[in-house]
């Protein structure tokens, strides 16, 4: 048996399996429990009026992580070895810095 723990908005916050008694221990304040099929997926399902339904394509798209902003090449961190860094420091020191 599988169970979905969902909040007041119908968002599935956790999917658990096993005995009902143990699944009930997963439910927190403001959450409910629903017995579901094995193919439940919180990315594409939600609970409406106590029933498992598919999310709309718009809901699925809205929940995707936003694309991080593009970082200009000049602002990206440089990955150099300690040997390269020490060499750079020596060259700066030689210049009187």
Tens-digit pLDDT profile for residues 27-39: 999 999 999 988 9
Residue 60 scores a pLDDT above 90 = yes
Note the pTM of the prediction, 2 decimals. Answer: 0.66
**What does the block give as tokens for 33?**
């429990």
Residue 97 scores a pLDDT above 80 = no
Residue 66's pLDDT is 87
User: What gap in Å lies between CA 46 and CA 54, rounded to an integer?
Assistant: 6
Residue ranges of the alpha helices (H) in 1-97? 20-24, 57-63, 82-94
The structural domains of the chain, with segments of one domain joined by +, span: 2-63
């Amino acid at each position: 048996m599988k169970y979905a723990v969902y909040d007041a908005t119908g968002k599935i916050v956790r999917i658990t399996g096993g005995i009902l008694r143990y699944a009930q221990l997963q439910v927190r304040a403001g959450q409910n429990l629903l017995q579901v099929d094995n193919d439940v997926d919180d990315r594409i399902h939600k609970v409406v009026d106590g029933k498992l339904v598919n999310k709309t394509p718009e809901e699925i798209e809205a929940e995707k992580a936003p694309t991080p902003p593009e970082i200009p090449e000049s602002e990206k961190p440089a990955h150099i070895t300690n040997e390269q860094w020490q060499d750079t420091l020596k060259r700066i020191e030689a210049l009187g810095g």
